[in-house]
Structure formats: C-alpha cells, structure tokens
Amino acid sequence: MTLITLSAPYGAGGSHVGPEVARRLGVPFVDRAIPTGVAERLAVPLQEAFDRDESIGGTLTRMTVWLGQVGQAFGAPGALPVDAIEDDDYRRATEQVLVDHARGEGAVILGRGGAVVLRREPRALHVRLDGPVEARIRQGMAVEGVDRDTAERHLAETDKARAAYMQHFYRCDVHDTSLYHLVIDSTALPLEAVVELIVTAARAREGVYDGFGTPSSSQV
C-alpha cells in the first residue's frame, strides 16, 4: 500500500505533481473526491460540501476575512466567528475520509492537513512542496494560465488561509519541516523531476514496512 500526503502552497505545482505521482504508483489521487465523502458522512448536499472544502475556500475564506477584520496576526488566540463553528463537523468528517483512504488501497492525498491527520500512519510518506514567493507566482501563472495580478491574488489568499487552517485546527505551522519526510523546492526543478523524486522516495519507504506496519526483516 502506498500512502502519500502532499502539502503544497499556491504555485508549488501540487495540482500537477499529485495526480502524476498517483498515476505512476497506481493509487487514487484524492482531492476532489474528499468533499464527496464528506457529503455522504454528513448527509448534506454535495455542493455544500464542495463550498466548504479547502480547495474552494469555505472555512478558509471566512477565516481569512475574520483574521483581517480583527487585525490579528495569523495564529493569534481568539474565537472563530459563530458561523464558522459548525465547520468543525466538516473538519472531522474530512479527517475520517483521509483515515478511510489510509486504511484502504492507498492514495496520494493533497492538502487537508494530511501530514498531521495521518501522522501516526507508519507507512505514510509526508511531502511538502514549496519555493520562494516570486518563483511560485511565476509557476502559478504558467500552471493556471493566468496573468501576474491574478496569480499574486491567488497566492496571497490561499497561502494565508491554509496557514490559518493548520494553525487553528491543529496548532501547527504549515512550514514546520518536522511534519514532513521530504521537503522539495518544486520551483527549482522541473515538475517531472519532482514527481520522480517523490515516486522514488515512496517506493523506498514501501520497503521499510511489511504487511503489518512494522519494520521489514531487511530493516531490523
């Protein structure tokens, strides 16, 4: 079973790298399927689950607006607005979907705090893609096919919101390298080379554990 969590800010190429790694390893790429599973668990309309999903905004957008309104630095203590409290239900449901995939056939999971949610999964490989802001803006323009102003806006909105999500729900800094086994500047290499690095690392990690999640005989 291959299980990879992939954390990637705007412009780091996660939307390209994730599916390609999954294809190379023969496992599902789990991104847009997550809100479908959440909707089933909470018995809510699928569109509502999509609207609240991390990849679209939902909780994160409200957090960003709220943090800006109160003038607090990200991560400062304080209560979320009332209309965001119910998002805990969506977070818990999202976590359960990740756990279900971890117990199944394996997957490449993009975002949703996967490195934290699945930190106790011994076979998981936790990967962080990143890069300098300017380089991510340029790569975001190329990947999305947008102009510079749009890329800068997307970077500012999504980077701040995802960092706030990790800090509020998990009290973690998304940039903390101790959360990940592999951190790659995906703006310094061609994305295909980044895919190759992750695939190689995943296959190497598969050899560390036997079918019971313990070190294989070759590793002890």
- The residue ranking higher by pLDDT, 169 or 131, is 131
Domains of the chain, by residue range, sit at 2-219
Considering the chain, what percentage of its residues have pLDDT values greater than 70? 68
Contacts of residues 167-173 at CB distance under 8 Å and 24 or more positions apart, as own/partner, are: 167/74, 167/75, 168/63, 168/80, 169/91, 169/113, 170/113, 170/116, 172/113, 172/116, 173/75
Asked whether residue 191 carries a pLDDT value surpassing 50, the answer given is: yes
Distance of CA 184 to the CA centre of its chain: 14
What letter would DSSP give residue 68?
Answer: H
Q: pLDDT tens, 26-67?
A: 998 876 545 445 545 555 554 555 556 654 445 555 544 444
CATH class of the domain at 2-219: alpha beta
- The residue ranking higher by pLDDT, 107 or 168, is 107
Contacts of residues 149-155 at CB distance under 8 Å and 24 or more positions apart, as own/partner, are: 151/10, 151/11, 154/10, 155/9, 155/10, 155/11
Tell me what pLDDT residue 33 has. 47
pLDDT band at 80 (very low <50, low <70, confident <90, very high): very low
Q: pLDDT tens, 113-147?
A: 889 989 988 889 999 999 999 999 999 999 889 99
For residues 180 and 44, give the distance between their C-alpha atoms in angstroms, rounded to a whole number: 33
For residues 5 and 18, give the distance between their C-alpha atoms in angstroms, rounded to a whole number: 9
Q: Structure pTM?
A: 0.74
